[in-house]
Structure 1
Amino acid sequence: MGNQPTEPVRQSKVPFWLRLAPVKAEEVSALLVCMLYIFCVLSAYYVLRPIRDTFGIDGGMHNLQWLFSATLLAMLALNLPFAALSRKLPRKKLIPLVYRFFISHLLIFAVLKFYLPVDAQVWLGRVFFVWLSVFNLYVVSVFWSLVADIFSRERASRLFAMMAAGATLGAIVGSATTALLVHRFNTIGLFVLAAVLLECAVVCVKRLNNVTHLADEANDGAVQTQPLGGGVFSGIVRIAQSPYLLNICLYMLLYSVTSTLIYFRQADLVHHLFQHDSDRTAFFATLDLVVNVLTLVTQLFITSRLMARYGTKLVLGLLPVITLLGFASLSIWPVAASIVMFSVLRRASNFALARPAREVLFTVLKREDKYKAKNVIDTAVYRTGDQVGAWSWAAMNAAGMSGGMLLWLALPLSLIWLVNSQWLGRKQIQLEEKTFYPLKETLHENSHS
């Protein structure tokens, strides 16, 4: 009873706009830093994404599947040094190192873009396509690994949607920047801008290490100074040993395969509709802007409420259902408007609903799984799905079969994906009860000892 009068005071410390989600006063500082962090990361990526898509088309539509293959090889090559570094470095040193590794590459791309002759820039574009496809998964995966390590499952369910909203705001700013400035601001300037945004993200990482004690009572702050340990291949081994992690892999694979099929269909459409690079880049940037505005509205007003009321099981299942309906509609009405609308709705659903729910799945795992196993899933497994989708598309075209036939093949994949999502939702609840309820009891006993 004595604590009741102080509750309005505590709640008044929460900014009004954060009250769209159930945020507590002691969580505000950590949440704001997380939102700024992912805002900077996604702004950098979406400044660069339209450039990548344009480079991909310039390199030849018939070469896209080879670029996806090169991306997978680069991803696998990078996984081993990441795992090795995570054995020896604590997260407060590991994460800034990862970001500055990519910052150095952006500056190199800017120099090469300026000095290379025009005929050599086709290969620069191909290298950049592969690089950005590796970059975007690593920089985002590292963020979600960090926050899954910091926040408990209960807090993740309430706060991850707001963090995702920060990501969406970053994506909106990034894509709008490129759409507005692509005709005035050259590619070199966009490379440098993205590098500056990533350095801002590094500052946020350092700040976040100082406020993690606000986020989770079970986190004593010592973990940020300790390496993860384990073996270089421990992430792969843990996945092989865990049905839960294997099913997260399946969820990611099915999402990636179906996304790649849509991507190729959309790229083929843009290739025929637009003849100039600047027009293609502007179209891709505008499409990204529409997706991210829709995503932001959903994250602010819908996602947190769905997660809090229905849990991850329902939210995880929404994207497979949308995908199933979308592929069915494309098979019946294979026109440009249908492709664009399906792509927009599906991407927005992934960012606003599936992504936060999928990240909550990792909060019930051990720390090593949150970094190493998660990194393998977010990078190598995701790009493996790209390969399946890309080469399936190439094989169908080589055989002279229509894209509509391939889309019909995606329907059973969507059904399997829906069943998989429901299993994951149930299993996450079981693991939470097994892991966190005993922990809460121990914390309660210690507080009274």
Structure 2
Amino acid sequence: MPPPSNPGSTDPAIPRLHQLLMRATGAGRHEIAAMLWGFAYFFCLLSGYYLLRPLRDAMGLVGGANRLQWLFTATFVAMLLLVPVFGAIAARWPPRRFVPVVYRFFALNILAFGVLFATGVQEVAVSRVFFVWISVFNLFVVSIFWSVLADNFSNAQGRRLFGFIAAGGTAGALAGPAIAALLAVQFGVAVLTLIAAVLFELAVQCFRGLLSATAGWRSSPGSDVQRGAPDSTLADVRLGGGMFGGVKLILRDRYLLGIVLFLLLHTFASTLLYFEQARIVSASLSDTAERTRLFAVVDFSVSSLTILLQLLITGRFLKYAGVATALALLPLAGMLAFAGIAMWPTLAMLVAVQTLRRSVDYAIVRPGREVLFTVVSREAKYKAKSVIETVVYRGGDAVSGWISAALTGIGVGFTGIALLFLPLTALWVLLSKRLAAGMEMRKAQETIE
């Protein structure tokens, strides 16, 4: 469906900013409000999370870097327990009710952690619980956000507007670490939790604004929502579904199993690098606030490079280089990170290679990976994708953590681990090509049908 025309784009009654957005995104006049609410919603959400992310990384080191594998295992177990609980809540309550409840529940958790951090009660135990909690929390809040968008925007609108809305998340990922880096040492980590709780409440208000805006445009003349969207809106539909249906879909589909393997290789590489990062930071910095500031600087650098790549490179790269090349960048960037840290295990090298690897992942590889899901069934897009990005992801973290601990225990240094990763890199690149070929085959079959 072609983008709607914007006959009022030169109307002096329309604010200049709105006219610019209409030209840049192809949005209709009736869609601007919802698009801006979505942008602000994602900005608040990821600002709050990325404000806490460097604190999580610092808290993970309080009990010692050699205990991280236990934290990763605990995160996986917590995910197994909470995914069915979340599914039951979504099945029972409509999103208009359960979305604010979930966000406010997490905000209250954050405030409670802030009090515990400020009072210094059981510092090691609280730090470990916080690490597990935020590692679970971040997957849920982002998943809910994209469910909100999927229920309130049509497919045609999504193709035109989701890129701009996603930029709100990148901007939030840029703002959060900047706030943490500026305030962590001067005011203490407890203040960060208070700011994050406020941002999640603002996200709730943006969610409500988004619902109001999308309800308003459905009666607008020329709205493509009238022609292609589901009959019910987000506020009226329960998400439903369940984890076990997604597992069955994955086990029956080699294409989905390939995506699972791709993600497991991703978690394996990320976890090995994360553990080495923890060792280097733990040996170099002893103060939690200083560690928090370092991790905030890394996150700020990643977000800065990511947004530049998104604005200047991503679209053209996916169009001309293709999905296979985009996916293959991740194993190649990972191998570069392994080699750099193995040869020069310093904080400067750590910041440089982690910034490059994560930016390439977020800006180019992740969009390419999401494209893989456009050719599977609608049920698989929701159920199988949910299992892959929660249980499989955290399970890969847990297993990788124990593999890392075992290799260290038998005396294999990081240089040895980097050498062991070479054949896995080759497998990963080959898998990237196979997944892209499978996607094209399914796309061709859809065209024939």
Indicate whether the TM-score tops 0.5. Answer: yes
Is contact 2:280-2:345 (8 Å) kept? no
Q: Say which of 120, 135, 138 aligns to 1:136.
A: 138
Is contact 1:83-1:233 (8 Å) kept? no
Alpha-carbon distance in 2 for matches of 1:423, 1:144 = 27
The 5 A counterparts of 1:171-250 are 171-212=173-214, 217-222=227-232, 224=234, 225-231=236-242, 233-250=244-261
**How far 1:6 sits from its partner (Å)?**
4.1
Alpha-carbon distance in 1 for matches of 2:180, 2:132 = 20
Kindly tell me: are residues 152 and 428 of structure 1, through their superposed partners in 2, closer, same or farther at Cα, counting changes over 3 Å? Answer: farther
**How far 1:207 sits from its partner (Å)?**
2.8
Q: Which secondary structure does the structure 1 equivalent of 2:208 belong to?
A: helix
**How far 1:149 sits from its partner (Å)?**
5.2
**How far 1:43 sits from its partner (Å)?**
0.6
Kindly tell me: are residues 328 and 275 of structure 1, through their superposed partners in 2, closer, same or farther at Cα, counting changes over 3 Å? Answer: closer
**How far 1:345 sits from its partner (Å)?**
0.3
Is contact 1:269-1:336 (8 Å) kept? yes
The 5 A counterparts of 1:266-345 are 266-309=277-320, 312-331=323-342, 333-345=344-356
Alpha-carbon distance in 1 for matches of 2:179, 2:17 = 33
Q: Say which of 70, 80, 86 aligns to 1:82.
A: 86
1:72 and 2:76 equivalent?
yes
Alpha-carbon distance in 1 for matches of 2:66, 2:313 = 40
What residue is the counterpart of 2:424 in the other structure? 413
1:165 and 2:167 equivalent?
yes
What residue is the counterpart of 2:407 in the other structure? 396
**How far 1:304 sits from its partner (Å)?**
2.7
User: What amino acid maps onto 2:110 in structure 1?
Assistant: L
**How far 1:258 sits from its partner (Å)?**
0.8
User: What amino acid maps onto 2:179 in structure 1?
Assistant: T
User: What amino acid maps onto 1:144 in structure 2?
Assistant: W
Greater mean deviation of Cα atoms: 296-305 or 237-246: 237-246
What residue is the counterpart of 1:444 in the other structure? none
Alpha-carbon distance in 1 for matches of 2:157, 2:448 = 14
Residues 281-300 of structure 1: per-residue CA shift (max 9 Å, x gap): 11111111111111111112
Is contact 1:234-1:372 (8 Å) kept? yes
Supply the RMSD in Å over aligned alpha carbons: 3.1
Unaligned runs of at least 5 residues, structure 1: 439-449
What residue is the counterpart of 1:63 in the other structure? 67
**How far 1:246 sits from its partner (Å)?**
2.3
Q: Which secondary structure does the structure 2 equivalent of 1:220 belong to?
A: coil
Is contact 1:40-1:197 (8 Å) kept? yes
User: What amino acid maps onto 2:134 in structure 1?
Assistant: L
**How far 1:424 sits from its partner (Å)?**
3.1
User: What amino acid maps onto 2:229 in structure 1?
Assistant: N
Residues 154-210 of structure 1: per-residue CA shift (max 9 Å, x gap): 765655443332212111111111111112323222112111111222222233334
User: What amino acid maps onto 1:181 in structure 2?
Assistant: L
Residues 226-247 of structure 1: per-residue CA shift (max 9 Å, x gap): 2244455222222222333322
Alpha-carbon distance in 2 for matches of 1:416, 1:158 = 35
Residues 87-140 of structure 1: per-residue CA shift (max 9 Å, x gap): 3334444433332231221122233334453xx121111100111111112212
Kindly tell me: are residues 4 and 288 of structure 1, through their superposed partners in 2, closer, same or farther at Cα, counting changes over 3 Å? Answer: closer
Kindly tell me: are residues 90 and 14 of structure 1, through their superposed partners in 2, closer, same or farther at Cα, counting changes over 3 Å? Answer: same
Alpha-carbon distance in 1 for matches of 2:346, 2:127 = 29
Greater mean deviation of Cα atoms: 253-262 or 358-367: 358-367
Q: Say which of 421, 425, 430 aligns to 2:436.
A: 425
1:101 and 2:126 equivalent?
no
Q: Which secondary structure does the structure 1 equivalent of 2:186 belong to?
A: coil
Alpha-carbon distance in 2 for matches of 1:427, 1:7 = 43
Q: TM-score, normalised by structure 2?
A: 0.85
Is contact 2:180-2:293 (8 Å) kept? yes
Alpha-carbon distance in 1 for matches of 2:6, 2:388 = 47
The 5 A counterparts of 1:12-31 are 16=20, 22-25=25-28, 28-31=32-35
Is contact 1:162-1:299 (8 Å) kept? no
Give me the identity figure in percent: 41
| Number of aligned residues | 433
**How far 1:51 sits from its partner (Å)?**
1.4
